[in-house]
Structure 1
Amino acid sequence: MPNKHGSRYYNRRFYEGHWKRAGRIFKPTTWPLHYAIKPFLHGRVLEIGPGVFPKSDVADTTFLEVTKSGKEMLESSGRHAVQASVLDMPFLPESFDTALAFEVIEHVSDDVLALSEVFRVLKKGGRFIISVPINMRFWSVLDKEVGHTFRYSFADIKQKVENAGFEIEKIGFNQAQSVRGATFLRNLLPRIMPSSYWVYVLAWVMRFIPKSLIPKIALHNAQSVTRVPENAFSVKMVCTKLLR
């Protein structure tokens, strides 16, 4: 159902201001999973909801961004951006070889519809790379501020992705050193700094972090993942659109 901002995205207004204050577009190489997913990016790529953090560095990439400020910043950096919702994408069926959605699906009112839209616009055999927050033990004020409706269980998001028609190939987890420590910081941050300035500060700090210090995240064969680490706070999955 629509939220109070007249959108089927939660806290869209928050991100309109966020992207304006960031003042720049982050390079894909500043993202921990960049080198792990790079081998899976091919052909015509669709990246959904990048904001100022695009993950794809493939030349033939279309960036689907729900906010006006995000679209304008992407275009100012020379990228092709379209302002639209993942719930109703303005693309023909089987338009893309690869689709990316990182920390997007948990922001929409109908995740099943969003996944079906991704399936629709992907070519047969195309790849879908998705990342979502998991584990309600990590639920915090920060989740509410950034517009998360909830944190998935791994079993739930896995089932929804498979029900949408995808086969999961690779799985990787972000893990916290301490559940209590991470939750404490995520509850403290909104109280010591206005939420509208987080991305601005992060953008400034990231300029001084060497690439060698950015942690890498491993992706494992899906069949080898038999348990979810207790300290996992997000999951990344590389999937293939099954032939129907």
Structure 2
Amino acid sequence: MDAVEIDRAMRLEDRNWWHRERRALLARRLRRLGTPGRAVDLGAAGGGNTRVLVDHGWQALAVDCSEAAVDHARSRGVEAMWGDIRNLPLPSDEFDLVVAFDVLEHIDDDAAAATEINRLLRSGGTALIAVPCDMRLWSASDVALGRERRYTRDSLSMLLLDAGLTIERMWSWNVLLRPALRWRGRKAACRGLEEPSPLVNGVLGAVVWSERILPVGRLPGISLMAEARSH
């Protein structure tokens, strides 16, 4: 993306139901982690999730492979740097938390990326991971977004375990909208740059919000979330 597209994407992200609910999900996990420390947000784009970290008291660094995204994050007051997740210019064993939301599916060598996540973490540190799930949902949207793959619980588990991480919890997200995604030609709930109408934005947000209280995390969804620990 060029700087104009990055700016447009970030303005949409501030309002979009999908990003709003995912920021809320991140905030809930942070509250459960307890005392804030040092965090790095990988694939941070314009730093929306990084700002959630900062708001919850974390000393947070945004990392992205797009210079335009890094510049945009800095313009919003976020500490940010360029970096390749497969080989990051950051010290080992320095971070209490690594966030990698919708990053691993874009990396050709996702094993190297997962190993880097573990390398950055202190012993006992936490990794919060989000990926799209199930190749049966693969569509032109995945291609347009530059994804290499979608994951299953088994493939994501194997990736994280092989990297040396211990999985504390894995759950599905965007479960209730999965049927709509398949029924409407796999376009209804994809993450893109299109802005839905205020009504649609509100309805979709309400549906995903309901997953906060409904026990649907074990059912198939659109995304997989994982919380893992470094040894």
TM-score strictly above 0.5: yes
Cross-structure match for 1:43: 37
CA distance in 2: counterparts of 1:35 and 1:184, whole angstroms = 31
1:55, distance to aligned residue in structure 2 (A): 1.9
More helix by share: 2
Summarize the Cα distance change of 1:67–1:136 in structure 2 as closer, same or farther, 3 Å threshold.
Answer: same
- By relative contact order (CA 8 Å, sep 6+), the higher-ranking structure is 1
Identity of aligned residues (%): 20
**Mapped contact 2:167–2:227 kept (Cα < 8 A):** yes
- Out of 195, 201, 209, which is 1:201 matched to? 195
Q: CA deviation at 1:199?
A: 2.6
Give the drift of 1:161: 0.4
Work out the CA distance in 2 between the residues paired with 1:217 and 1:50.
Answer: 24
Q: Which residue of 1 aligns with 2:14?
A: 26
* Alpha-carbon shift at residue 118 of structure 1 (Å): 0.9
Partner of 2:75: 76
Question: Is the 1:135–1:152 contact (alpha carbons within 8 Å) kept by the matching residues of 2?
Answer: yes
RMSD: 3.2
Q: Which runs of 5+ in 1 are unaligned?
A: 1-12, 190-194, 220-224
Contact 1:173 1:217 in 2 (8 A): no
Provide the rounded CA distance (Å) in 1 between the counterparts of 2:79 and 2:210: 28
- Deviation, structure 1 residue 234: 1.2
Correspondence 1:55 to 2:49: yes
Quick one: distance in 2 between partners of 1:122 and 1:238?
A: 13
User: 3-state DSSP class of the match of 1:55?
Assistant: helix
TM-score, normalized by length of structure 2?
0.78
Counterpart CA distance in 2 for 1:131 and 1:148 is 13
Indicate how the Cα distance of structure 1 residues 106 and 17 shifts in structure 2: closer, same or farther if over 3 A, else same: farther
Measured after TM superposition, the shift of residue 176 of structure 1 is 3.9
Q: Distance in 2 between matches of 1:218 and 1:167?
A: 25
Is residue 26–residue 52 contact of structure 1 (8 Å, CA) maintained in 2? no
Q: 1-side partners of 2:177 and 2:90: how far apart?
A: 42
How far apart are residue 16 of structure 1 and its match?
Answer: 6.1
Alpha-carbon deviation of 1:102?
0.4
Structure 2: 5+ residue stretches without partners: none
CA contact (8 A) 1:49 1:102 kept: yes
Q: Residues 1-244 of structure 1 correspond to what in structure 2 (within 5 A)?
A: 13=1, 18-22=5-9, 24=11, 26=14, 30=21, 31-39=23-31, 40=33, 42-52=36-46, 54-56=48-50, 57-59=52-54, 60-177=59-176, 179=178, 181-185=180-184, 187-188=186-187, 198-199=192-193, 201=195, 213=206, 215=209, 217=211, 229=219, 231-242=220-231
Residues 171 and 218, structure 2, Cα contact 8 Å, conserved in 1:
no
Residue 43 of structure 1, CA deviation: 0.3
Work out whether residues 16 and 67 of structure 1, in 8 Å CA contact, stay in contact via their aligned partners in 2.
no
Give CA-to-partner distance per residue, 1:75-114, whole Å, 9 cap, x none.
Answer: 0110000011101111111121100000100101100000
TM-score (normalizing by structure 1): 0.74
What is the Cα deviation at residue 171 of structure 1?
2.0
**CA distance in 2 between partners of 1:115 and 1:132 (Å):** 12
Moved over 6 A (4+): none
Displacement of 1:119 after TM fit?
0.9
